[in-house]
Amino acid sequence: MSNQPAILGNAPIFDRKVNIVRPQLPSMDEMQEGVRSIIETGMVTKGKFLREFEEAIAAHLGVNHAVALSSCTTGLMLSYQGLGLTGDVVVPSFTFMASVSSLVWAGLRPVFADVDAGTTNLSPEAAEAAITPNTSAIVAVHNFGNPAEIEALQAVADRHGLKLIFDSAHGFGALYRGVPVGKQGDAHSFSLSPTKLLIAGEGGIVSTNNDALADHLRKGREYGNDGNYDSAFAGINARMPEFNALLGLKSLQGLEGAAQRRNATVAIYRREMGKLPGIEFQRVHPEDRNSYREFSILLDADAFGVSRDHLAQALTAENIDTRKYYDPPVHRQTAYRHFAPDESVLPNTVLLAENSLSFPLWSNMEEETALGICEAVTRIHQHAEDVTKALNQARNASAV
């Protein structure tokens, strides 16, 4: 009985729910002085913390410009507009919906290309094959924090005269060939929402060496108005308030530690889950560092003995939260189905969407939590047949 999984009647491994993320925020002590100065000066927006935050990020990434915005999504929308994209844009479907919604908001047509099943990132070969006579850009994602194949994608973009933009929502803390993700291609848009390593509460930041784009972003986040009340173009309100910039500034001080600790936790996950059959991990280039904004596995149900959906259900019984990212992938979602190509060109997208599972991970996760989660997965595998039978019976009973 003792090593039976909870789904078969044993007590759950965790007596309280282990959430998928736990945002790591600066302490009250670290925030106090800045919060006081915001309140006392009344400068709640467009103040010194915004400037300091942007300067600190530009220095950290080694770029000429870092422009803070209300979100990664508005950063992407304004970047597409500022770079003058038209027509078709190649983008993965195995990504979060905002990679694609931002394109549609900018009046562009997403052309979905497949990802590599190992890295889970946009395949440069598939991206090249998806180029049409109307293509103006490629948008790549550092999926789950794993740096994209930047060099190969840049070569494709150069061959076809295309812009290369990175949806770097998961990218802070990731290193590409030893340097921070953020200075390559035409622009990167990072997300600073609470599930990320670098947190501003909500917010985004675009890094670029393109002066004209930076200027466009600064005007664009102010309705397209540079202050003379004569809009240069149709912008939006995409400003980052001072409290958020202050939070981001303080969070930046903990970034390196956060990335290192996440990698250490993932090493435990990989070591322990790697002992079980049917579990594959994201392939990371040996000279890169994944930020591990997310830890996700690819499950071979036949080898592991339990399907992805049953594993998730059995883990819920152990009080372990999981996510099926990205199921459904973007091209299967209601708003984007009419852009979908024949699914035969997206085999890895479909494979990953139907068989991936993301596990709890946060920047200061305790070793025993990671070990407990691995123990839960191990127990479920060891009782694979009974788990599958019990969950099938439960499903059939609820269907009657």
Ligand X SMILES: Cc1ncc(COP(=O)(O)O)c(C=O)c1O
Site for ligand X, rule CB under 6 A: 71-73, 95-96, 98-99, 141, 167, 169-170, 191, 193, 204
- In the β-sheet with 109-113, what is the strand arrangement from edge to edge? 65-69, 204-208, 187-191, 163-167, 135-141, 88-92, 109-113
* Cα–Cα distance, 365 to 346 (Å, whole number): 35
Of 169 and 350, the one with the shorter C-beta distance to ligand X is: 169
Asked whether the beta carbons of 326 and 91 are under 8 A apart, the reply is no
Q: Is 393 helix (H, G, I), strand (E, B) or coil?
A: helix
* Cα–Cα distance, 45 to 43 (Å, whole number): 6
| Minimum distance from residue 50 beta carbon to ligand X (Å) | 17
| Minimum distance from residue 42 beta carbon to ligand X (Å) | 27
Of 99 and 136, the one with the shorter C-beta distance to ligand X is: 99
Structure tokens at 209: 């060496």
Q: Bridge-partner residues for 81, per DSSP?
A: none
Asked whether the beta carbons of 157 and 139 are under 8 A apart, the reply is no
Of 170 and 239, the one with the shorter C-beta distance to ligand X is: 170
Of 298 and 314, the one with the shorter C-beta distance to ligand X is: 298
Of 186 and 318, the one with the shorter C-beta distance to ligand X is: 186
| Minimum distance from residue 71 beta carbon to ligand X (Å) | 3
* Cα–Cα distance, 111 to 92 (Å, whole number): 8
Of 235 and 305, the one with the shorter C-beta distance to ligand X is: 235
Asked whether the beta carbons of 330 and 95 are under 8 A apart, the reply is yes
| Minimum distance from residue 75 beta carbon to ligand X (Å) | 8
| Minimum distance from residue 113 beta carbon to ligand X (Å) | 15
| Minimum distance from residue 99 beta carbon to ligand X (Å) | 5
* Cα–Cα distance, 11 to 19 (Å, whole number): 18
| Minimum distance from residue 20 beta carbon to ligand X (Å) | 12
Handedness of CA 260, 262, 264, 270 (dihedral sign): negative
Helix (H) or strand (E) holding 293, with range, is none
Q: Which of 303, 314, 293, 316 is nearest to 363 (CA)?
A: 293
| Minimum distance from residue 167 beta carbon to ligand X (Å) | 5
Q: Bridge-partner residues for 139, per DSSP?
A: 165
Of 72 and 130, the one with the shorter C-beta distance to ligand X is: 72
Q: Bridge-partner residues for 110, per DSSP?
A: 89
| Minimum distance from residue 134 beta carbon to ligand X (Å) | 24
DSSP letter for each residue of 178-200: TEETTSSSSEEEEE-STTSSS--
Asked whether the beta carbons of 75 and 189 are under 8 A apart, the reply is yes
Of 77 and 214, the one with the shorter C-beta distance to ligand X is: 77
Residues 6+ apart with CB under 8 A from 399: none
Structure tokens at 307: 């399907």
Of 72 and 387, the one with the shorter C-beta distance to ligand X is: 72
| Minimum distance from residue 15 beta carbon to ligand X (Å) | 30
* Cα–Cα distance, 76 to 339 (Å, whole number): 19
> Look-up: residue for tokens 């209601």?
334
Of 304 and 359, the one with the shorter C-beta distance to ligand X is: 359
